């Protein structure tokens, strides 16, 4: 594609997009990201973006592999995606135990894991969940895509007990509801309630489930008050301001996470996530406005 078309290269990776989003509202180098890359030019592009945006990266280098990439074709407000995972599938759990990474894991306030991790390394997600439980840190999981609960429901269920926060969009929530055998899987509040009430290891801290729905209201259900779902409207953008919706969900997650680290209540975290998501869809790819503007 890059050989035949005038393409725009943008730093990507679902969790990395969210990390850069969180860094947008946090002090520089408050956010650490680890994942697997090759030893190539694409990895250098990621490092450059992270350095510019205040994210500390501690990559696992998959020797002999190329860095994963996603091609996005934008038509109006719609998109078509083709992904080649390559090095992204080669992450090793031992990397989390290295002298460089282990202290960063121990020092983190919040762990964020994308559902895509479950496709090739459930043990890493469980390791971080166990760390979060042991150290009383916050563990956040993003469902990432409908195929995660569709194809990896059992793996997902092994991780959910560690989750303090679960984030997903309407398609992902419905997919989980179907996989769980819910008769009302299109009822997003009901799915969020069921997820919120799944067994939890640290029961002293309620679980929050957030379901986004594009331009429609975002739903929040807390296990502390599961029969009272909350709804938070999304402020609409004029159609001519929407450039690319790719990465908008990651941007929401990043804004939410940054606000969570700052100690904001969940309502504020959602509002800040909405603002960063709105900023993202006005750019090409998962990018944010520079120079920075305050969204707090």
Active site residues: 250
Nearby residues of 278 by Cβ (< 8 Å), 6 or more positions away: 234, 235, 237
Nearby residues of 275 by Cβ (< 8 Å), 6 or more positions away: 255, 295
**Distance in angstroms (rounded) separating the CA atoms of residues 82 and 191:** 29
10 Å Cβ neighbour count for 148?
A: 25
Name the DSSP letter for residue 233: P
Nearby residues of 116 by Cβ (< 8 Å), 6 or more positions away: 14, 15, 88, 144, 145, 148
Measured in Å, how far apart are the chain's first and last C-alpha atoms?
A: 38
**Distance in angstroms (rounded) separating the CA atoms of residues 196 and 140:** 13
Task: Supply φ then ψ for residue 84, to 5 degrees.
Answer: -120, 115
Question: Dihedral sign, CA of 128, 134, 135, 138?
Answer: positive
Q: Say if CB 31 and CB 22 are below 8 A apart.
A: yes
CA distances from 272 to 37, 195, 230 (A): 30, 23, 16
**Distance in angstroms (rounded) separating the CA atoms of residues 194 and 175:** 13
């Amino acid at each position: 594609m890059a050989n035949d078309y005038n393409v725009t290269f943008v730093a990507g990776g679902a969790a990395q997009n969210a990390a850069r989003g969180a860094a947008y509202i946090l002090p520089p180098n408050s956010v650490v990201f680890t994942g697997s890359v090759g030893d190539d030019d694409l990895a250098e592009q990621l490092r450059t973006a992270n350095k510019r945006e205040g994210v500390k990266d501690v990559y696992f280098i998959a020797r002999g592999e190329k860095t994963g990439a996603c091609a996005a074709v934008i038509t109006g407000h719609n998109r078509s995606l083709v992904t080649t995972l390559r090095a992204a599938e080669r992450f090793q759990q031992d990397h989390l135990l290295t002298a460089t990474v282990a202290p960063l894991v121990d020092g983190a306030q919040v762990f964020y894991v994308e559902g895509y991790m479950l496709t090739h390394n459930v043990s890493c997600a469980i390791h971080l969940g166990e760390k979060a439980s042991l150290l009383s840190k916050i563990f956040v999981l993003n469902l990432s895509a409908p195929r995660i609960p569709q194809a990896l429901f059992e793996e997902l269920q092994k991780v959910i007990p560690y989750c303090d926060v679960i984030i997903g969009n309407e398609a992902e929530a419905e997919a989980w509801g179907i996989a769980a055998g819910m008769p009302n899987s299109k009822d997003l509040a009901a799915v969020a309630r069921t997820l919120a009430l799944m067994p939890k290891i640290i029961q002293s801290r309620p679980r929050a489930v957030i379901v986004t729905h594009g331009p429609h209201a975002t739903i929040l259900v807390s296990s502390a008050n599961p029969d009272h779902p909350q709804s938070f409207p999304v402020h609409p953008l004029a159609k001519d301001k929407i450039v690319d919706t790719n990465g908008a969900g990651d941007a929401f997650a990043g804004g939410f996470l940054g606000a969570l680290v700052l100690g904001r209540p969940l309502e504020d975290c959602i509002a800040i996530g909405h603002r960063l998501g709105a900023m993202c869809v006005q750019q090409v790819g998962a990018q944010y406005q520079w120079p920075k503007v305050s969204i707090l």
